[in-house]
Amino acid sequence: MKTRILLLNFVIAGALYLSAGAGNSGDSDVGQPLVPTAEDLARVAQVRKTDAEWKARLTPEQYLVLRGHSTERACSSVLLLEHRRGVFRCAGCGAPLFASDGKFESGTGWPSFTKPFVPGNIVIAEDHTLGMDRSEVLCARCGGHLGHVFDDGPPPAGKRYCINGLALKFEPRP
């Protein structure tokens, strides 16, 4: 049964991939690459909240992902089809994490990026849950779980930051 569900997820992801234009289509690849602003690069104090404060700030689904290290269902994020030029921020604290010009259609069912927008705004940690050895991606500012990074992305870096859409908020930029 799990194999059928996994296969169905990949079929749906492939259909989304093809319907989105099979690549970085849309406005995100038009013009110059996005460059972090002074505000993006400013080091902001760590965000520390109680569990009750996080529950009040986030939706129940965002809370499960960002604070509970859960994973959203494949192909469920509206951000899969987001191709406008802009920045993807942490849904928990607003830190700028990824830019649209680093987003690509991986066909996995989750928003995927080749690199962080501001590298200091993410932290990579070892994750040995579910009997796997993975590299977890966390927001450096609030410690929120974003997703995982894999070594099967496109050149030149070969990285695929596979990020939960629930962990992100999109900010369009000119």
Q: How confident is the model at residue 30 (pLDDT cuts 50, 70, 90)?
A: low
Which element (helix H / strand E) includes 123? strand 122-127
Measure the CA–CA gap between 86 and 118, rounded to whole angstroms. Answer: 13
**Which fold, 2-172?**
2.170.150
Q: Is 162 one of the catalytic residues? A: yes
Measure the CA–CA gap between 154 and 5, rounded to whole angstroms. Answer: 26
Segment 135-165, tens digit of pLDDT: 999 999 999 999 999 999 999 999 999 999 9
Please give the average per-residue pLDDT across 110-126, as a whole number: 95
In the block, which residue shows the tokens 């690459």? 33
- For the chain, the domains span 2-172
Please identify which of the residues 75, 90, 142, 162 carries the catalytic annotation: 162
Whole-Å CA distances, 59 to 46, 49, 92, 141 = 21, 15, 10, 19
Q: Is the pLDDT of residue 92 over 90?
A: yes
**Rounded to a whole number, what is the distance in angstroms from the first to the last CA of the chain?**
45
User: What is the residue-averaged pLDDT of the chain?
Assistant: 84
